[in-house]
Structure 1
């Protein structure tokens, strides 16, 4: 689907979420027929931590999502969410029994896609991302899915972000988590060292990619070294 999320302060974010769900579920069902036993799904969504927090609040979780910025703009997120809740006439937690309405009003295409995949693929699923995957987990739980076949794979930077509530909210939802212990503190590149200062924190399924590497027998240190090597190669191409 080529649908994009709308500004949920002004209108429902995903009026066509059913089409996204249906297509993603069909893909999940096709993958389910294969020999794949565990599906790892990553994400990258502009503004996705705000839509995630709105959905979590609508479902009754007192959560704070992380941010790609070292300074989490939590007051801005809360103001935007308050405007959206006011538009719908909602209080926090009022959609705990209507998760699809929470998705329609406040979600984003990534959430609808991952939920559809999860409904179609019936084996183990690793949700590779940060606090946005908490919203996906909460929606799946509210839809009646057993969470024992799901895990969130994230990074230490998300876990250590005290401006967010990753561990607390994951525990409240009842989803297990894996944290990739990558370390770029000694990197020769500022762009990688900045991860240790709170920039980005996750990024396109970094936790899930590390989870797969560790399962294949590599250590987090080796993954960090490989990232450094690839970064060096990219910088040399740029030059």
Structure 2
């Protein structure tokens, strides 16, 4: 303990002497220079991020006019206002051929490229995937998307009205339980034909199931809603 007290007295006297003052100034200068070098090195090692890089949005790669077309389509199908929809992902793609572009599950190996984008739109709690070509003339929604949300209200009302007329049950007691976006190979398949040719003359539309009391009726409807076909196997008593 005595040796510690003596050492403290020696250090105190050293800093109080003229030589001690010079030593203090020298240490202060060295420390200041050292911190300056450290700060400069840190500034070089950790560059600042440009705020514009942080604010870039996915749809910036997509022409605004095409983005608006996609959002309008999603709004029309879902009934959700366009302002409540959001493009969450945009990927520039070269689709191998029109079949791949149209979400075909079984496509030939033919190479007939379609340049465009794969676009993901947030619709309520769902994510819808679109394919769009560079001109914006072809916009295709993934047929696996939730069909009930994608089905336009006007078409749903037309189907329920048809089922009501055929069955005599009020539309309030009918319910669409399933709607699947489909590409029917040709008009024969669309019309529930059992023996159809292999001709490829696609009809874009939906397969829709309506719940009616203890039965389920299956309809095919084209995209415009101008053709509505009930499965002929359905056991129904039409109103005269």
TM > 0.5 = no
Q: TM-score, normalised by structure 2?
A: 0.23
Q: Which structure has greater helix proportion?
A: 1
